[in-house]
Each structure stands twice: as structure tokens, then as C-alpha cells.
Structure 1
Amino acid sequence: MATTNLQPDTMKFVYPTIDASTTLHQSAKGKVVMITGAGRGIGQAIAIAFAQALAAKLILTALEESELEESRQKVQEIKPDIQVFLRALDVRSNVDVDTFVSEAAAWAGNHIDVLCCNAGISPPLVPIASGDPDRWWMGLEVNLKGVYLFSRHVLPIMLAQGAGHIIITASRAATRADDKMSSYQISKLAATRLCECIHRENHEMGIRCFAIHPGGIVTRLLTDLETKETESWAPEVVKIIRPNLREEISLPGGVVPF
């Protein structure tokens, strides 16, 4: 009797099923998409993929306005007529997020089809017994509170229109408990559970919420560690993590429009 191999393939790059420039071309046609952490890395890759999928309007935010301008340039090279609203802000500020969402929604005709909560940080990887409490807590402030605030202020818009998707950049770290990674892993675990709560509360009203593991991607979260000379823990962490980062940054970009 023949057996079926149920082990899925592990993909490290964009493949035809999720290629926004071919298979998914026009899949986001006319859509309004809001992306946090959109100035570089995975967030920028998501913005590029939505431009390839012919989104009509992108609402982008990150900490650095210069990085957002670079993302604007890249998406408009792909789709010159795409409209882009951008602003630099801190996702931890309720007032700033509320104001941003209100103004961006008004710009987009009080309509948001997709919210991509991608902004994130990797706090210092140090033991709980010796770490700085404020820097430890910052991981949850950005990776969890930021997701909550954007979801909180975008959900009423989606509920009013009767449809919407919220996509959270989670991590395989949510399933692990490793030395010196408590802040990051707890924040990603909590964000994943928040995703489940959002979906449970709102799916009957047409709202869908997903948490994705983007893969092992080399982003500035890692490259910043490689240049830190004052942090004694950085070289050890880079040595452990770097060999496991094998996926192309375009991979999560393709997954999100899919």
C-alpha cells in the first residue's frame, strides 16, 4: 500500500502561488492597505507586494520618515498611479495612533480593507535577572501594544464597512522559551493570542485576522546587533541566530496579499 508524504515543502523564496507580480496580480486591485513598520525590511516588502497586486492606496507608517519616503518611491516605481499616505509615528502612543488612523481613513474615503501590523523590535537579549526592566517591557509595548492600538482604532472602520482583514507579523518565537529571549518571545506569543481574540470577536461581522510567521529573515533587527560594540550579549546572539536566517525577504511580502 502506497503511503502519502504529508510533510509540506519548506519554501525560502516567493513561489508561483504567492507571487504578487504574476499569480496574485490584480488580487488587491482597488484595495486600501495600511502597513505599520513599512519603512524597511518585511514591512517594505509587504508594501511592494501590494503594489504588484495593484492596491489602489497604501497607508504607511514607521519611525523614520526618510525610510517611508524610500518605500513610497519603490511602490510608485512598480505602480506609478498608486496613492500613498505616510507618517512617522511611535506605535506605542494611543493618541498618535488614533489621530493617524482617523486622518488616514478620511484620506482614503473612510475605508480600510487590510491592516498589516508589522512594526516590531527585538529588545536586548539578556537574562531576566539582570536585564533593564524598561527595555524588557518595551518589547511588549511595541510588539503587543502597537498591534492592539492599531487594531482597536481600525476595527470600527472595518466593522462599519462589513469586511476587512488584519494580518499580524508574528514569529516562530511565539512557540519557544529560550534563554535571554523572554521579552521578544512573550510579546510574539501574546500578539498571536490577540489575533485569535480579534478573529473570534469579529469574524461573524466579516473581519478576518491572521498571524503569520515570516520565516527566518535578515532584517535590521539582526544587523543592528552586528554593529553594537557596547552590548556584551550581541555577538553571542548573532552567532546563534544568523545561521537560521535563510529565507528571502520577499517571501513574507508575497504571503500577506495571498
Structure 2
Amino acid sequence: MEQIALITGATSGIGKATVNELARKGYRIVACGRRQDRLDELKAQWGDQLHTLAFDVRDQPAVAGAIAAIPESFRPIRVLVNNAGNAHGLDPIQSGSLEDWDAMIDINVKGLLYVTRAVLPMMLETGEGHIINIGSTAGKEVYPRGNVYCASKHAVDALNQAMRIDLNEAGIRVGAVNPGLVETEFSQVRFKGDDTRAAQVYQGFQPLTPEDIAEIIAFALSRPPHVNIADLVVMPTAQASSTIVRKE
């Protein structure tokens, strides 16, 4: 049976790598992101195997409208990869930006909920589905100045568990992949375009690559129907925790 996967945050990093990994394995892909030019590049690469949706996961009406308008040739969605998410700032709680807080909660938590709610009817109707939520080691521990970002990823961890319980009777698999340090645009966003500061995060050791995570996602999806990888944490060998990284 043909597999169709919807992937959020598909225009960079883990999301883009997952689009490419699953497309190579024969999936038809609904690639979602905010940047139409990057979606167009993916479309040029994969052609009729890929359908693009441009929306911001924070915008619930836009999410619902775009997913409702997916053409029949890309229905029903059987795989959902909730990848869209980001971090803004690295300030202590007493001086954190309210705008940054809203962005992290709206994207990392509410965006995940909006997309899941829009996709679930297709899975429930067919009785088939597999949801992979991209969390973080920040959802397993808290580190200095991580406050609201860590809180948002702890929420993803809780939602992953709750979704698995709620959807158990429907036979829909729910699992999470929680990466540690992956070299993506993550730090550029966190440091608001300060490329020098962002690059320092990944210096002196070998971080994970987006492709590393995409391969793990593909592996989780490839398990037989009776197997669900419910919660997986993956870090580079040099990383022991959010604050302990062996650098040369």
C-alpha cells in the first residue's frame, strides 16, 4: 500500500532531510513550511512525488485550510512527522522576551497540536497511522537559560505520551525522536542571525547531522505494525547531557 507522509518544517534541517530520505524510499510526500521558495526547490527535485503546502503552523485556520485542501492523489495521510519547531533567545527567566516566549509556545506546542488535529481524521477513518513527534533532549532535562524552550519541549514529551494513550484504541502508532545537538539552522534562529555565535555551538566536536535523524525516523517508520518506537533519545557521542559536551 502506498505510503503518504506529511512533514512539517520541511524547508530546512531535519525536516528537509526527512523529506529526502522518505522520498528516496518511495513515499509520496506532503512537504509543509513557511518559505515558498524552498518548497519550490523540493518540488523541482521530487516532481509529482511531492506536494507542497505553505503555511505557518501557528496559524490554525491556515493549517486547517491547507490540509483540508490536499488533493486526493495525496490522501489519505498515513504518516505525520511533527518536526516544525524552534528556539528563540537564551535569556534567564527574569529578562526573557515575551515575544520569544510566545513564538516558542505557539510553534513548538500549539503548532504541533493544530497540525495533528487536522491530519488525524484521515488516520482515524482508515484505521492506519503513524505519528512521529520531533522532541529534544531539552524535553528530558532543563538547562540554564533554557527555561521556556525546555518547557515547550517538555510539553511535546507529555503530548507524545498522551497522544499514544488516546490513540491506542484506534491502532495509531505514536512515537518521538528526541535529538541532542544537531547542526542545523537551529542556533542561527536562537541567536537571531548571529552566525558567529551560532557556529561556536558546534565547534570542537562532531554534532549530529539532519540526515542522521532522518535515517532514524525512516527506521522507526519501517518497523512492522506490531512494533512502535515510543520514545527515543539520540545524541552525538561527544554529548552526555545538554550541558556536558566533550570538545577538543
**Shared fold per TM-score greater than 0.5:** yes
Relative distance call for 1:251 and 1:159 in structure 2 (3 A) is same
Partner of 1:214: 179
Structure-1 separation of matches of 2:146 and 2:88: 8
The alpha carbon displacement at 1:107 in A equals 3.2
The alpha carbon displacement at 1:223 in A equals 3.5
Is 1:44 aligned with 2:16? yes
Q: Aligned residues: percent identity?
A: 27
Unaligned 5+ residue runs, structure 2?
A: 220-248
The alpha carbon displacement at 1:109 in A equals 5.6
Is 1:134 aligned with 2:134? no
8 A Cα contact 2:88 2:192, kept in partner: no
Structure-2 separation of matches of 1:159 and 1:169: 21
The alpha carbon displacement at 1:242 in A equals 4.8
Of 198, 215, 218, the residue aligned with 1:254 is: 215
Aligned Cα root-mean-square deviation (Å): 2.1
Equivalent residues in 2 for 1:178-189 (5 A)? 178-189=143-154
Output one character per residue of 1:128-174: Cα deviation in whole Å (capped at 9) or x when no partner: 11112122121011011111111111111101100101111110111
Is 1:159 aligned with 2:119? no
Give the TM-score normalised by structure 2: 0.81
The alpha carbon displacement at 1:111 in A equals 0.5
Output one character per residue of 1:171-201: Cα deviation in whole Å (capped at 9) or x when no partner: 0111121121112111111011101111101
Partner of 2:40: 69
Output one character per residue of 1:92-119: Cα deviation in whole Å (capped at 9) or x when no partner: 1110111111111x43364111011111
Partner of 1:12: none
Partner of 1:32: 4
Residue 166 of structure 2 aligns to which amino acid in structure 1?
A: E
Output one character per residue of 1:33-74: Cα deviation in whole Å (capped at 9) or x when no partner: 10000011110100011111111x211111100111222234
The alpha carbon displacement at 1:245 in A equals 5.9
Unaligned 5+ residue runs, structure 1?
A: 1-28
Residue 214 of structure 2 aligns to which amino acid in structure 1?
A: G
Is 1:54 aligned with 2:19? no
Is 1:83 aligned with 2:54? no
Structure-1 separation of matches of 2:110 and 2:200: 30
Of 112, 115, 118, the residue aligned with 2:83 is: 118
8 A Cα contact 1:60 1:87, kept in partner: yes
Task: Indicate the SS of the match to 1:246.
Answer: coil
Between structure 1 and structure 2, the one with the greater Rg is: 1
Residue 51 of structure 1 aligns to which amino acid in structure 2?
A: A
8 A Cα contact 1:215 1:252, kept in partner: no
